[in-house]
Every structure is written in C-alpha cells, then in structure tokens.
Amino acid sequence: MSSIALGLIVLGVIYLLYNTWPLYRNWKRARRLGMPVIVSPVTTGSLLWLVVVYSIRHGSIPTYLHRLPYVRVMRISWSVQEKQAVHKELGKLFIRVTPTDCELFVADRVLAKQILQRRDDFQKPRQMMEMLNTFGTSLALVDGTDWQRHRKVTGRAFHEKMHQRVWIESSKYASSIVNQWSTTESVRSTRSDMTTLSLYVLFKTCLGIDAGEGIESGEILAADIAACQYHLTAFLEGISRPPTLRRGRMVWDELDKNRKALGELLREIVQARRWSSRKPQPDLLSSMIASTDDYELTPDEITGNLFLFIFAGHETTANTLIFIIHLLAIMPIWQDWAREEVDQLPQRSDVSEGLGYQDAFPSMVRLRAILYETLRLYGPVPTVVRKTNNQDQLVRFEDEDVVIPKGTNVFINTIAMHTDPEQWGSDPLAWRPDRWISQGPGSGSTEQLRSDMTKNLFSWGDGPRICPGQKFSQIEVLAVLLSLLKNHHVGVVPRPDQTLDVARSCAYKLIQNSKMGLTLHMPDAESVSLRWTHR
C-alpha cells in the first residue's frame, strides 16, 4: 500500500473518530424534539462538504444517492431547487444534524411569524452575518438597544419626500434606458443596466450623489457610481464564495484589493458630506451623520450601514427587475395584462416635479401583483436564518408547545412556504400574477390585492426587523416597470437556429435554474437577447 493511500485512510479514521461522538450527541439532542431528523456526517461549509457538493454537481456520485435526504439538503441552493418538496415528505418542521450543529428548518407560516416577531429570543447568527461586518457594525448585525438605535437613525430617512424622489429618479433613468434599448435589435445588457439603474437611484436619493459628478462638485472624483459598482460587484462576488474557495494568495489579494478600494470610497463619501458647505440633505447619509443626544452612530457604524444599504438596496432590487423583465418577455400574455392597467393609470409628462407618484403609485394593482408574484418564486433571500439565544425557547406549532434548544440555528424556508399548495393553490410553481387579484364587492367594482396572500409574503421579512426599505424598493420597481411598459414591448430574440418558442423555453430554463450567491440571481442573464419595440 502506498504511503499516500495509507495517509488517506489514517485521515479518514481520524475524521470519523473526531466527528462520530459529537454527531451522536447532537442526534440524541434532536431526537428529544420528536421531529423528523436528517443526519449529515458532513458539516456545512467544511472542506469535505465542498468536495461532496462538487461531486454531486459534476455527477461523481451515483444518481440513486442524490435522493437520499442528507444529500438533497446538502446542495448549494437546495431550497431553491427543492422548493416545498422536502417539507412535503418530512413535514413542516425537520432537523438536520451535523457534527457541529442542530439546524431546525421551518416551513410553517404561523411559526415563522412567531420567530420573526421575537427578535430578542431569535437573533441573527453573527457568524453567518460576519461578512457584512467588513466596513463596520450595521443594522443587520446588532440586537437589543443597539438595534433600536441603528433602526431609529436609519429609519428616519425613509419619509415621503424621499419616496417621491425615488419615483422621479427611477422613472427618469428607466425612460432613458428603454429609449436606448429600443434603438438596437438585440439587448444583452439587461443585468448590467438594471444594476446601474438601482445603484444610480440609491446614490441619488440616499446619498445625494449624481452620476458622473463626483461626490462634491468634483472634489472627490474617485467616488463615482462606476467605481463603486466595479469594486462592490467584485467584492460581493468574492465573499459569496464558500470560505474554502477563498484560499490562495491571488484570491485573497484580489478580495483584499477590492475591500480596501470600496472602504476608501465609503469613507470619502462620508467625509465629503461632513465637510460640505451645502444645506443638509433630507437623505440617509445626512440622517446617519446628524447626531442627537439619544441617537448617534460612530464613524465605523456609519460606513457599516452605508455598505449595508448600498449592497442590500441595489442587489435585491436589480435582481428583482431582471427576473421581471425576462418573465414578461417570455410570457407576453402577462405583459399585455399589465399594459391594460398601465394605459388606465394617470399619465403625467412632467416627472421632474414628482407628478405621477401620488396619482399612479396607489392605483397600481396589477403591477404590484407582478412584483409580488416574482418575489414569491424568486425572492432575493429564499431562507431567513435566526438562532436561539442562550436560553431554550418555547413556541407553538399546530396547537402544541415545542421547545427549541438554546444555540439552535433556525432556517425559515420562505420559498417552501411561498410554494405551499395549501396557501397558493394547485399551481404554486407557476408564475401567475393574477392569483394576487380579487374583485371588490358589488357590480363594476375595481380589482384589489388579496390580503390573505400579501400577509403571507416573507420577501421583506416580518416582525420588528422587517426591511426598512420595503416601500423604497416597491416604489423603485413599480416606477421602472411603468416607464418600461408605457410605450414599449419586450420580447425574446431567438438565435438563427431557434424558433421563438424554443428561445423562450431556454430563457425560462435559466430562470428555473436560478442560483444563490449572496442573494438569488438569474445565471447567465446576458445570454438572453431581448428586443424592445415601440408599441
């Protein structure tokens, strides 16, 4: 026997000895809860886990093993691929046991709301969120009184004046983009254009920075949207990889280079506002810099929150718009359905003064349904993670008391809940926006959104830690959709060797194979050619 083979056997024996006892101990702990248990001998995120995942992806593991429960829930993006299937077999609650953890998976709406309402009992696990701590502590990483302080300071920026500004800037930029798209036969820049749009709107409305103008009338030219977008994208791509894939001098050097460049841009943005002689702006940056006796953020907390809102605010909105545009192009019947509402909305030509927001935004029912249906199936965060604090937690599940042990990771499987036939009907996997619509009482009544569905959409979270930018993102998406659909039609452009039906089918397959990075995204969106035409 070669020394290499002997060494591998020895390492395998050491691994088994080292992990068998803690795995057994966690299994006994999980069995006491009386729920289905999946035993996984491999810890998520470990080097061995990465080897197994790679083997599954590249067909090195026999196909019949793919249906084993612990293999199914070991894959990256498994909740996106399986949707409600695993919970249908095992139940709305099950536990995955590894050598290091007990992990509770939840697909029950009532229990999910309990957990999200109790922010002090079920906190965000700092270890999983640590990547967001690179530039300073932020709203996403604090609990208790610190969370209240961060939420108070950042929350006061989301007022109606800002929302009107979001409507104006989103409408203007989207109109400019669609006019440019309509001059070409084939558009493959949807992803980059929507990313630029969302970052532009965020910079303009939250930070008071114009595209191409620099931070302060040209004083700091490095801190423009293009530079921020480049370093932000590169940095996010780097940290979205599992830690075991970030090893190696070149990988770390590239990640560190983008981290430093992005950090410098964030600090320049803050310093420029502090030194500015202009009248303070009613935006997010001014809210964070302005201090009061009761609520104040440190410099590191300001840059930490700045990164958080730039990342979360543009990544999630851009990906949502990318999904919607492609879905409408693939299924033109819903594009025509949406346009029936667009043509009836109050039309104002002068968006520079905000005309249209007060009139059109409250009247959007079908466009909201399109947004909600997209988030139901392709929301940015398919799984919401919490962790019990240093005490056992008592919850109610199906009229029984359940004790969740202290230190347990809790995974709220939102996409499983969003595809549960009990709530969403017999076709929960179909993208059908009209499921959100009901007719009001009486003859000649208007359409309205179904409240029994909207209250069970978890895309912005729930409870006290619900996303503070919920209305901001809704306004941005709906303003963009209105501007895109008002005078234009979008369709998929087939390749010379394709029929239109085949091209649509291929594009839809890409959407169905969406992947998780830091958020859910459509892979290879640039491979789909779209054509925008005047109608």
Residue 342 one-letter amino acid? V
- The separation between the first and the last C-alpha atoms of the chain, rounded to the nearest angstrom, is 74
Pair of tokens at residue 452: 């029994």
Give Cα separations from 472 to 230, 346, 469, 476 (angstroms): 24, 21, 5, 6
Provide the total of helices (H) and of strands (E) in the chain, helices listed first. 22, 14
Residue 47: how many other CB atoms lie within 10 Å: 14
Residue 102 assigned as binding residue:
no
For the sheet with 409-413, list strands across it.
37-39, 93-97, 102-106, 409-413, 383-388, 122-123
List the structure tokens of 349: 């030509």
Residues near 441 by Cβ (< 8 Å), separated by ≥ 6? none
Count other Cβ atoms within 10 Å, centred on residue 520: 23
Report the run of H or E that residue 403 belongs to, with start and end: strand 400-404
* Rounded Cα distance, 56 and 79, in Å: 16
Cα–Cα dist 29/25, whole Å:
6
The single-letter code of the amino acid at 185 is: E
User: What are the phi and psi torsion angles at 448 (to 5°)?
Assistant: -145, 160
DSSP code string of 467-506: -TTHHHHHHHHHHHHHHHHSSEEEEE---TT--HHHHHHH
CA distance 199 to 226: 9
Q: How does DSSP assign 230-269, residue by residue?
A: HHHHHHHHHHTS-GGGS-SHHHHHHHHHHHHHHHHHHHHH
Run of H or E including 52 = helix 47-57
Between the CA of residue 208 and those of 166, 334, 426, what are the distances in Å? 12, 36, 47
Known binding residues for heme are 467
Known binding residues are 467
